Amino acid sequence: MCESTKTTPEDQRNVEIKAHIPGGAEGFSLRVDIARRLTGSLNAEEINQRDVFFESPLGGRLKLRYLQAPARSQLVYYDRPDVAGPKLSKFNKIEVDEPDVLEKILSQSNGALGVLAKKRHLFLYGQTRIHLDEVKDLGYFMEFEVCLKPEQTLDEGQVIAEELRREFGIEEKDLMTGSYFDELVKRKKEISS
């Protein structure tokens, strides 16, 4: 998630693109090479994440993101349309010192939906966070988060995201409409049917 320079929740927004990476590990490696070339960085920041998703009765998505120390875990609420291509995501997040206790409280009050684990390879390019993700039980994905400045419009962010999509060779058919967690739930239903 992008960092906001202001403290008001309405200022936290980005334009996102999520996509499947075709070609398995080879396709993933190719995208890592593109990110290295584009950013001039040989190594990505590797982040192991475990997200617990909860019911969100008023809409949007609510997750508790466990991060490895010294990073602090985060409670994140976000809302974005389930459409392919660049889309506006509005979010709020707060760092959490006792994630296990918060998970228990949210499970009891809201209900837990499930867990998604991934290894994220993070590259920074201008105002964009490039995520190359190895998602447990799903495969390889990538995500662009164009962190919008307060004065920037949705259209400006969409132009940046689309340029990156082309640069990384992501085709329309590979774009995702929902979240990784949505994809995981769908996959589990298909397996159990």
Cα torsion 152, 154, 171, 130: sign: positive
**What pLDDT, in 10s, does the model give residues 86-114?**
899 999 999 999 999 999 999 999 999 99
Q: Which residue has the higher pLDDT, 68 or 7?
A: 68
Residues whose CB is less than 8 angstroms from the CB of residue 78 and which lie 6 or more positions away in sequence, other chains included: 1, 60, 61, 89, 90, 91, 92
Query: Domain 9-192 - what CATH class?
Result: mainly beta
Is it the case that residue 6 has pLDDT exceeding 70? no
Is it the case that residue 190 has pLDDT exceeding 80? yes
**What pLDDT, in 10s, does the model give residues 112-155?**
999 999 999 999 999 999 999 999 999 999 999 999 988 888 99
- The DSSP result for the chain, as a single string, is -PPPSSSSGGG-EEEEEEEE-TTHHHHHHHHHHHHHHHHT-SSPEEEEEEEEEE--TTSSEEEEEE--TTSPEEEEEEE----SSSEEEEEEEEEES-HHHHHHHHHHHT-EEEEEEEEEEEEEETTEEEEEEEETTTEEEEEEEEE--TT--HHHHHHHHHHHHHHTT--GGGB-SS-HHHHHHHHHHHHH-
pTM, to two decimals? 0.89
